[in-house]
Structure 1
Amino acid sequence: MLDTAVAAFLAGIARDGTGPMAAADIAGTRAALARLQSVPVDAPQISIEDLDIPVGPTGHVGIRILRPAIANGRPLPFVLYLHGGGWIMGGRDTHDRLMRDLADGSGAAVVCVDYTLAPEATYPVQIEQAHAALRYLAAHAADHRLDASRIAVAGDCAGGTMAAAVAMLAKQRRGPEIAFQLMFYPILAELEATDDASAPWLNRATICRYIDAAFPDPASRRLPTAFPLLATTEALNDLPPALVIVAEADPLCGQGEEYARRLVEAGVRATATRHLGTIHDFVALNALADTPAARGAIAEATAALRQALYGP
């Protein structure tokens, strides 16, 4: 049973036909998400710095650094954040309120990587941009008032997928060291034909469309840095502690719980939390920011980040 506010949101989207999932093409999908997220919403006052850094396979990548009010000019631990949108949409503006909430609640800086969207770029460009940005920030932390000894990675939807992949890359490439990984409803495997095809908001057909845009080469879909549920136990060993937050009415719900289970089996401290009565994207959608599930998930996520980056 859906939360009443979630049900009302979905009814409005269905009535108006304005949601990004209903758009006929990628340009329409991006524009629809931007419109949906442009609704004014209360958000913490945070200082923002936009930069372009000379790293990654495309030669440069944009980042946004969000610093909470407690900073007072001192170096802060930071969370490398990878926004959601199924690899094809979204950016630092559509996810601004969510990242402000994370920065304010955790007391850490949040650094959003404005990776190149698909299909303009495809796997592995996005995760290479993210890992390159992480290495740059760790090497130049003092220049940006960041503390490279206390780093977390996080993301929602496809950004959660990439956060998991960046944690794997950091292990494989011996750095930078990551203290914690946070994933909101990540896409961790291709969906099976038996997965729920009629879930509200996000369904199997839409997810398959995202995957086709981001992974046109079928061989890439067999790699664990594309879909982390493919990782062996050995590949998962010694990864950072993890929190995976999922939504009940989401075809990806089981994937997130299974990934947390696999991490635990590999000896990693990991937790999965299922939030009832809500849908995919529930922490990112501004229209759902005040629902009990979204408030609870943000409180849980920021508490976990605080503990990982500042200690108990």
Structure 2
Amino acid sequence: MKLVRYGDMGAEKPGMIDSDGTLRDLSAHVSDITGDMLSDASLAALGALDPASLPVVAGSPRIGACVGNIGKFLCIGLNYSDHAAETGADIPKHPILFFKANSAIVGPNDDVVMPRGSTHTDWEVELGVVIGTKAKYVTKENALDHVAGYCVVNDVSERHFQTQLTGQWTKGKSCDTFGPTGPWLVTRDEVEDVQNLSMSLDVNGKRMQTGNTNTMIFTVAEIIEHLSGLMTLHPGDVITTGTPPGVGMGIKPAPVYLKKGDVMSLTIEGLGTQTQKVDEDA
């Protein structure tokens, strides 16, 4: 099942993508796609609906972030062995954790706006994991049972802010619009093997990132086990799980960063595609 939120920012409605790719309205059944309706029972009730009985959404409305009222936006850094190699970083012994401010969250096709003074804004295609049921001290053997589904995330990063402004990575990760999420939430039953999903990112039509979740250092299950031992994971929390090689800061002989007018296009196998145009704050 592919769940989606559509409409103006702040006034999104819940929807479902049927097997033909048609957007259908779910407003008669749920008020929004948020943590309180991501339990297995709630998702099963939505899955039992006949998509043909749902109203077709006319036109081409804006698509919002696939989860509303996201709780925690947790991010794992340096979690692909081939990305760690391109940056010259050591393989971490434990998952590296940072947070992205919820004010960074936008729809999958909304503009990415570089903040004032930005000269090192970079791209990162990532697998997003959406928690469906409360997780505390879970093991990797049952960790995925707590997942509602998966989505595409662009972990946009301002590298100068991230590494040179004294402090933690969050400074370069939390700028407004730096968290495009979606286009849809694909429920976990539709993802046969989350550790074998191809992923890519293009800038202006040129392939920059090519990867697969099979090169993760810590699997999705291991990440959930680790994080749930530190804090309770609640329904509606989102975890981004790292990026494969091909980011701008890793390009040799000189890094390449985003500029106004650039267009990013991100895809993860079975999870859809995002496209963002880059703008800059006045």
Is TM-score (shorter-chain normalized) higher than 0.5?
Answer: no
Greater RCO (CA < 8 Å, at least 6 residues apart): 2
State the TM-score, normalizing by the size of structure 2: 0.27
Between Structure 1 and Structure 2, which shows a larger proportion of helix residues? 1
State the TM-score, normalizing by the size of structure 1: 0.26
Between Structure 1 and Structure 2, which shows a larger proportion of strand residues? 2
